[in-house]
């Protein structure tokens, strides 16, 4: 029996990235062909375009472009925390490249996103906070002098 993506996404999964929405959200397809929208846990990238009440953020287009170069058409592994879904129905995940690179942290290290904590998902909260502080101090990405 084919289970809906909503249920299958709760288990550790691999996806092929098919579309990058912005610097912290993307769509992927699982082995069964189901499309899954993924929001990276613990990071917040600037908006890459004006949406509703949110204006385009400084370094938003750069963050989206970087995530696109990093993930597009790549197979990624998802890992979950205490809550696997947000209020919008997106899968919440820590994302890893085939070589083991921790994407969430890499985005923060390079200044394409800042660390942010939403309860209850805080497994890597301290690591992401340290990376954010280091990125700020070094002027990486969005932390550069304007």
83-117: pLDDT as tens digits: 999 988 999 999 999 999 999 999 999 999 999 99
Determine which one of 10, 90, 130, 146 is catalytic. 90
**90 carries an active-site annotation:** yes
Residue 133 lies in a domain: yes
122-134: pLDDT as tens digits: 999 999 999 999 9
How far apart CA 36 and CA 27 sit, in angstroms, is 6
* pLDDT, position 85: 92
Residue 63 lies in a domain: yes
How far apart CA 135 and CA 142 sit, in angstroms, is 9
Q: How many other C-beta atoms are found inside a 10 Å radius of the C-beta of residue 69?
A: 10
Residue 143 lies in a domain: no
3-47: pLDDT as tens digits: 333 334 445 589 999 999 999 999 999 999 999 999 999 999 987
Residue 22 lies in a domain: yes
**126 carries an active-site annotation:** no
Assign 41 to helix, strand or coil.
Answer: coil
* pLDDT, position 57: 61
Residue 144 lies in a domain: no
**8 carries an active-site annotation:** no
**Full DSSP string of 83-124:** --B-TTSPEEEEEE-TT--BHHHHHHHTTSSEE--BTTB-TT
CATH number of residue 67's parent domain: 2.40.50.90
User: Could you list the residue range(s) of the whole structural domain that residue 80 is in?
Assistant: 11-138
Residue 116 lies in a domain: yes
Residue 2 lies in a domain: no
* pLDDT, position 48: 64
Determine which one of 10, 35, 47, 146 is catalytic. 47
């Amino acid at each position: 029996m084919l289970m809906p993506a909503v249920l299958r996404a709760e288990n550790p999964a691999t996806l092929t990235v098919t579309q990058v929405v912005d610097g912290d959200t993307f769509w992927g397809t699982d082995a069964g062909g189901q499309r899954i929208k993924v929001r990276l846990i613990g990071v917040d990238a600037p908006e890459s375009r004006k949406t509703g009440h949110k204006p385009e953020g400084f370094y938003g287009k750069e963050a989206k472009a970087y995530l696109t170069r990093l993930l597009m058409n790549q197979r990624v592994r998802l890992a979950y925390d205490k809550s696997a879904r947000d209020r919008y129905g997106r899968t919440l995940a820590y994302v890893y490249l085939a070589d083991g690179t921790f994407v969430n942290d890499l985005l923060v290290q390079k200044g394409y996103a800042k660390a942010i904590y939403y309860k209850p998902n805080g497994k890597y909260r301290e690591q992401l906070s340290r990376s954010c502080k280091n990125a700020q101090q070094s002027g990486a990405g969005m932390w550069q002098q304007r």
